[in-house]
Every structure is written in C-alpha cells, then in structure tokens.
Amino acid sequence: MAAQIIDGKAVSAKVKEEIRQEIERDKLEIGLAVVIVGDDPASRVYVNNKKKACEVCGIKSYEYALPAETTEAQLMELIDTLNDDDKVNGILVQLPLPKHLNEEAVIARISPLKDVDAFSASNVGKIMIGNYAFLPCTPAGCIELIHSTGIDVSGKECVVIGRSNIVGKPMAMLLLHENGTVTVCHSRTKNLAEVCRRADILVAAVGRPGFVTGDMVKPGAVVIDVGINRNADGKLCGDCVFDECAKKASWITPVPGGVGPMTIAMLMKNTVMAKRIQTAK
C-alpha cells in the first residue's frame, strides 16, 4: 500500500483564497506586525513567507527588523507601541529570539487580543478549557490537514511525539477536543516505537531527521510530519523517513509542502479573527 500525499500547499492555498475573499467581501483593513530580532537565516525565510502570505490575502504587513543587540526594554517598547496601534491587529514576534532576551516575558507583553500565534499564557489557557479565539498555528494547520483526508479523529488512537509548548502540547489538546484518545511521547518515553505503532493518527514534532521509521507506523495510519530539519546533504526534511512511512501509512504529509504552508495559512486566519474580535469590542 502506498500512502496518499496530503498536499499542504494546495490546502493552504485554498484557505488563503477563502481569507482573501472574506477580506475583499467585508472590506476589512487588517494589519499584521512581524517583529524579527537578529539575522537568523531560517527566521528570515519564515518572516518573508509570512509577508508573502499577507500580500496574497490582502493583509497589510509591517516588518520591524531589529538588530541582534536590541535590548529587552527596546523590544518591550516596540510591543507597547504596536499594542496601542489600531492599524495593527496582530503582532508576531519571530522566535527564537537572541539568548539575552526573555521569550516568555516578551510574548507576555503582547496584548492577548493581538497574540495571533496564541503563545501567551492566557491564550494557551483558553485552549486548555476549549474556549478559544486563536488556535496555535502549527497544530491548527495539522488539524486542517487531517480534516482534508476526510478521516474523523473521534475515537481514534492519536500519538503525538514531542511536548513543546508551541507544537506538541497544543497539538495533543486539539486532538483531545476532537475526541481522539491521545498519548504524548517525549524523550523519556519508554518503548516509543511500540506506542507509535498503536497510532491511527501519528504526529511527529521532534526536530530530528529520520526519527520516525516505517516500523513505527501502523498500517493505514495518518502520518503528520511537523519536523523541519536539514539532512546530511543539507536538504530540507521532516522527522519521518518518508519512503518507509509512506509504504505503511494511508495518508502522509511531505516535507516541504506539508505542515509548513498550513502554519502560515492559520496565521492569516488568526489575524482576521483578531480584527473581528477587536472590532466587536
């Protein structure tokens, strides 16, 4: 059996087109501020892709590229200004920040109404209780990709590998909200391969190329590969050994072209939501 490919590019293009139409139809004026500190090349690529998506959707993007030696006080001052700026509906601080900046404190400074990444404690808490406006972009994108297969999560065994605050934990929570039976694996998990083999839906968010091998995949499983890594040849790859996993799975996301584009589409969705919430207040 060969898996069907879940085309993240196509699904994300559809989501962005729906957003573009919504913005045009309702004549919405929406702004997203993107803050980047330092010159991490991967962060630059992500920021450029986010700006491109804004253009496609009809959202105005405001880039703030700050030098690596920016102090926390300077960054906080910028966030305060953006919090008060009515043209700015969403604020995104590209992570990781240089080591001397406290990411948690910086994220906490963003108004929860403009926290379109849904990283702040109050938005994370809302996700826990299932009463949320913003979904964290990457897990929300994964859910959309699972939906695109037509497979219902309810009652399925779901295994998430990774427990980070931005991917693993919220991913587990969203699958739980969809009535999946969820197991979260991490670096201390025993018999990881055995646990993974139980999964009808397997989500890999580890950050290690070649981590998920074909023998860890249950025949017919849906495999969502969140990892973005470089292999020994410097090529972009996920956490899964694609060819091996694709032989076992019923559906699988490629890297690139899977979860990555969806994360950005979900960011656009959250930015529109931010505008709606702010206007309704």
Give the integer Cα–Cα distance in Å for 135 and 260: 16
Pairing mode of beta strands 90-93, 181-185: unpaired
Cβ proximity to ligand NAD: between 30 and 206 the closer is: 206
CB nearer to ligand NAD: pick between 113 and 134:
134
Q: Active-site residue among 94, 169, 225, 275?
A: 94
Q: How far is the CB of 204 from ligand NAD (least distance, A)?
A: 8
> 60-98 b/e with 16+ CB inside 10 Å = b?
ebbebebeeebeeeebeebbeebeeeeebbbbbbbbebb
Catalytic, out of 16, 114, 115, 117: 117
The amino acid at 75: L
State which residue, 23 or 265, has the beta carbon closest to ligand NAD.
Answer: 265
Q: CB of residue 134 vs ligand NAD: minimum separation in angstroms?
A: 16
Identify which of residues 79 and 159 has a Cβ nearer to ligand NAD in the complex.
159
Query: Which parts of this chain interact with ligand NAD (CB under 6 A)?
Result: 138, 161-164, 166-168, 185-187, 189, 192, 205-207, 226-229, 259-260, 263
Q: Is 281 a catalytic residue?
A: no
Shortest distance, CB of residue 124 to ligand NAD, whole angstroms? 14
- Rg for the chain, CA atoms, rounded: 19
The residue (of 113 and 172) whose beta carbon lies closer to ligand NAD is 172
User: Going by DSSP bridges, is the β-strand pair 251-252/222-225 parallel, antiparallel, or unpaired?
Assistant: parallel
Question: By C-alpha distance, which of 154, 172, 153, 156 is closest to 226?
Answer: 172
C-beta of 277: minimal distance to ligand NAD in Å? 24
Sheet holding 31-37, edge to edge: 60-66, 31-37, 90-93
Report the alpha-carbon distance of residue 266 to residue 142 in Å, rounded: 10
Cβ burial of 207 (10 Å; 0-12, 13-18, 19+) is middle
Known catalytic residue at 94 = yes
Can you tell me which residue has the tokens 């060819």?
Answer: 243
Please report how close the Cβ of residue 25 comes to ligand NAD at its closest, in angstroms.
28
Residues paired with 157 in a beta bridge? 181
Q: Which residues contact 55 (CB under 8 A, 6 or more apart)?
A: 61
- CB nearer to ligand NAD: give 58 or 258: 258
**Is residue 117 among the annotated active site residues?**
yes
CA 105 centroid distance within chain: 21
CB of 108 to ligand NAD, least distance (A): 18
Catalytic residues: 50, 94, 117
